[in-house]
Amino acid sequence: MTLYRLQKLIYELNRDRGVQEAFTLDRENLLSRYRLSEEEAEAIRKDDIGKLYILGVNGQILMHFAAWRGFAWDEYIQAMKDALAEHGQVRDGIYAAVDDGEGGAV
Amino acid sequence: MSLVFAGIMSHGPGMTARAERADPAVRDPFYAALEQMREALEQSRPDALMVVAAEHFANFFMNNMPAYAIGMADEYDGPIEDPEWLRIPHRTIPGAADLSRRVIGKVMEKIDVAYAEEWKFDHGIMVPLSFLTPRFDLPVIPANINCQGPPLTPLYRAYEFGRAIRAACDVLPERIALVGTGGISHWPATPNSGKINVEWDREFLSRWTRNDRDALTAYTDLETLRDAGQGGFEIRTLIAVAGAGEGHTGQIWFCEPIPIFATSGFVAVMDVKPAF
């Protein structure tokens, strides 16, 4: 259930400028509204795109979120590769890596 | 009047965001095929363009996810993504609320479709429009199929959605063009982005051009996930266009893998041949 709320936070950040402003002004206050696990909240605090991927955040919303947080395309792909090597396979959702995360157009 | 044009194309954000990184030997003929599609679309003299796209969690979330949705507004805006990232400036896109309302009313006779008077276009619609209506001046009717949050609508229902769109077009006076957008096989937004199953794509398009309903709808989601990635779930949008063209066959104008675009770049049209 917390993954649902984590994804909802990112979904709302992606499409609502007001939520983006709240994120910029007082990230902790915004996070408190979504009742995330500590692991999820820490990944958001650190802009840890790779960890968010491993936690199971849907790739489409994570891709847009990463762009908003300033990740260039190659940095975004590399962040997921690095996290896969560090944490292992994606824990939930439909965006699990295949072929041990090899390949990709970087 | 009736459906005056039916086609399908890829919509990967890399088509605009990372164009310079694609191999020109493949990219340029792909863009030429898209230009050919733009010309064919214009020659069909549509009053509106209906775009069947894949939901990417841009407008709907898992608190209330419709299997099918159609926009019903006089204007939309997009892209929802960072415009500098997508390299498509933010803008307002004309809609056709009255026509949408009548299309939805007819589609509802066969499919329980949701409607939306607000809609933010993401790359799934903005990228195709940037190639097909680069002035963004043709009224658009956006349609959406949930391809992200399982349980997903069965493929045979996607075909029926297309048939329902066709039935609506058949009884309305306006000239309506239809474009379905989605990847075929792809593993987007993963470390494997750029992986493409070329043979699977060719087989799918073969089924599509034959408009072989049974073959198009024979894939299970587990098979698609294994062979075509989670991006393969977007074949629903392409199958819907086949449903709209039931009784007709199609042609592939281009299909080659372009890894930096995350999918095969493809363009195909269904020969719906209106007699007017």
Domains and CATH numbers, chain A: 2-92 (1.10.700.10)
- For A17-33, how does the pLDDT look when each residue is reduced to its tens digit (9 = 90+)? 999 999 999 999 999 99
Give, in degrees to the nearest 5, the angle at Cα B9 between B80 and B275: 120
**d(Cα B76, Cα B121) in Å, to the nearest integer?**
7
Domains of chain B and CATH, by start: 3-270 (3.40.830.10)
Bridge pairing between strands B250-258 and B3-9? unpaired
A57 with A3: CB under 8 angstroms? yes
CA distance linking residue A51 with residue A73, whole number of Å:
17
Share of chain B above pLDDT 70, in %: 99
DSSP B137-205: -S-EEEEEEE-SSSSPPPHHHHHHHHHHHHHHHHHSSS-EEEEEE--SS--TTSTTTT---HHHHHHHH
A vs B: CB pairs below 8 A:
94
pLDDT digits (tens, 9 = 90+) for B226-262: 999 999 999 999 999 999 999 999 999 999 999 999 9
Question: Which residue in chain B has the smallest CA separation from A70?
Answer: B85
Cβ proximity of B11 and B124 under 8 Å: yes
Tokens representing B25? 């030997």
Beta-bridge mates of residue B179:
B7, B51
Q: Determine what percent of chain B is predicted with pLDDT higher than 90.
A: 96
- CB of B186 within 8 Å of any CB in chain A? no
Distance CA A85, CA A102 (A): 11
Q: What is the pLDDT of residues B1-27, one digit of tens each?
A: 589 999 999 999 999 999 999 999 999
Asked if A68 lies within 8 A of B56 by C-beta distance, the reply is no
The reported pLDDT for the residue numbered A102 is: 85
- Partner residue opposite B57 with nearest CB, options A11, A80, A99: A11
pTM here is 0.97
Residues of chain A with Cβ-Cβ distance to B192 below 8 Å are: 97-99, 101-104
pLDDT for the residue A104: 72
CA angle B230, B234, B108 (to 5 degrees): 135
